Structure 1
Amino acid sequence: MAALPEAPLAPPARLLPALGAVYRAQLSRARVARIPLLFVATFQSVGIMVLMRGVVDGGQEARAVVAGSAVLVVAFVALNLLAQYFGQLRAQGGLDHYATLPVPPAAVVLGAAGAYASFTVPGTLVTAVVGSLLFGLPLTHVWVLVAVIPLAGAALAGLGAALGLLAPRPELATLLGQLGMSAALLLGVLPAERMPLLLQYGRDLLPSTYGVEAFARTFDAHPDWTAVGLDLAVCAGVGVLSLAVATRAYRRAAVR
């Protein structure tokens, strides 16, 4: 009896359609579980600004506080929660499920990172508006958050995903995520001029710093848009690098 010819395999899924499918699935899954935490992140950032209002009157320091508090919402969700998510996913065998799907590894990482970063938009806008009114800063260029949120979100989400995938235990992933958010709080919200020199160098290494600087510059009467663009370009470069590291970490974790 002649052997039947083998059926051709289906072509692998393309990146963009697979990315869209993962993004929608993650967005739907996280909607109920993450919205209460988004309120916590927003309330935390607004509370920090209220406390700093008693210490900082205005000027450059007020701009740093408002910009840092707004980007802190992104750090809480995109870095902290994403590190916890991938740490738990790895520990519970959830990566095995994704490994059986015909989707590129980059689509899994980018889809999850994009979904988590999307939840930061309302909280970041609310924090920026409340902070600007609290410190008497102009709202003229608040639209720049349209660029700051996705670029800073990509950099922080990639870092959070990498921490969750590289951590040997979910508890360690949670700890690293908390430490990363604490660094964003201490180094991003406090004015750089009041920090010791060593902490200023540490601040330069934090991806969210450049999103904070870009937003803070827009409170000037005549913003230096070249400097704003350079800060956003650094955010974009760090985002590409951190997401590439997270994708590589996902490949390693998924085959173990």
Structure 2
Amino acid sequence: MLPSLAAVYRAQLSRARVARIPLLFVATFQSVGIMVLMRGVVDGGSEARAVVAGSTVLVVAFVALNLLAQYFGQLRATGGLDHYATLPVPPAAVVLGAAGAYASFTLPGTAVTAVAGSVLFGLPLGHLWILAAVVPLAGAALAGLGAALGLLAPRQELATLLGQLGMSAALLLGVLPAERLPEPIGLARDLLPSTYGVEALARTFEPHPDWAAVGLDLAVCGAVGVISLAVATWAYRRAAVR
């Protein structure tokens, strides 16, 4: 399992480095632009923390959810899954390797977005080391969801649409403060995998962070990541035998 995972990760990382780095700049620029726009209507407090945390995790959603859904949708439509099926590689290694490679590219963008947002809204920078936990956990949850959407979509165009809708949900439900959302939409926010990464990051911007709550949010995010990657592995097996 581990040698196969490492081989798939290196192959996907090499491929994604050329094709996805320009899109990572787009994702970062998009998140920074959203914060600049929100600065005109948000002064500070919990709203500012929510905007910065949601915009930061949105970079992860753009790459790990949106682009990965498109990649697996294309892979299924063009017969690329047949290539992987002939290799002595477990299905879980294919999903985890691709998800890990795509999520790895989000760390520079999230760091730039978090620092820019903290300076823009006057938030403390001392606890941004939490990104080392938020990015992989939120990335795993969103990458698993993106891979599952791409593999379960009957057509490549539908996979692209689902990836875009998922990223839009991460934008609307992650950037806006939870207390400002209507109750039904708030429930939908609780179901979004990236929500718990956003909450964990937002808590660290408080003057005295509740580290127990931060740890709980990260634990929930990790558990959701395990479930979403398991679903993506099942979807890969299902798509590969068809």
Amino acid aligned to 2:80: G
Q: Counterpart of 2:229? A: 243
Q: Which runs of 5+ in 1 are unaligned?
A: 1-14
- Residue 188 (structure 1) aligned to one of 160, 168, 174: 174
Q: Counterpart of 1:11? A: none
Q: After superposition, what is the alpha-carbon deviation per residue over 1:57-114, rounded to whole angstroms, capped at 9, x for unaligned?
A: 0011000000000000000000000000000000000000000000100000000000
Q: Counterpart of 2:100? A: 114
Amino acid aligned to 1:149: V
How many equivalent residue pairs? 242
Q: What is the TM-score with the length of structure 1 in the denominator?
A: 0.94
CA distance in 1, matches of 2:130, 2:201: 7
Does 2:183 align with 1:230? no
Amino acid aligned to 2:190: D
User: Matched residue of 1:168: which SS?
Assistant: coil
Cα deviation, residue 197, structure 1 = 1.2
Q: After superposition, what is the alpha-carbon deviation per residue over 1:144-169, rounded to whole angstroms, capped at 9, x for unaligned?
A: 00000000000000000000000000
CA distance in 1, matches of 2:186, 2:19: 36
Cα deviation, residue 195, structure 1 = 1.2
- Residue 153 (structure 1) aligned to one of 131, 139, 152: 139
Amino acid aligned to 1:181: M
CA distance in 1, matches of 2:212, 2:123: 21
Q: After superposition, what is the alpha-carbon deviation per residue over 1:112-147, rounded to whole angstroms, capped at 9, x for unaligned?
A: 000000010000000000000000000010000000
Cα deviation, residue 255, structure 1 = 1.1
Q: Counterpart of 1:19? A: 5
- Residue 109 (structure 2) aligned to one of 97, 118, 123: 123
Q: Counterpart of 1:80? A: 66
Q: Counterpart of 2:81? A: 95
Q: Counterpart of 1:170? A: 156
Cα deviation, residue 220, structure 1 = 1.1
Q: Which runs of 5+ in 2 are unaligned?
A: none
Name the % identity: 87
Does 2:200 align with 1:214? yes
CA distance in 1, matches of 2:15, 2:29: 23
Q: Counterpart of 1:59? A: 45
Q: Counterpart of 1:44? A: 30
User: Higher Cα Rg: structure 1 or 2?
Assistant: 1
CA distance in 1, matches of 2:32, 2:152: 32
Q: CA RMSD in A?
A: 0.4
CA distance in 1, matches of 2:221, 2:181: 22
Q: What is the TM-score with the length of structure 2 in the denominator?
A: 0.99
Cα deviation, residue 193, structure 1 = 1.6
CA distance in 2, matches of 1:193, 1:234: 20
Amino acid aligned to 2:137: L
Q: Counterpart of 1:141? A: 127
Cα deviation, residue 199, structure 1 = 0.9
Cα deviation, residue 210, structure 1 = 0.2
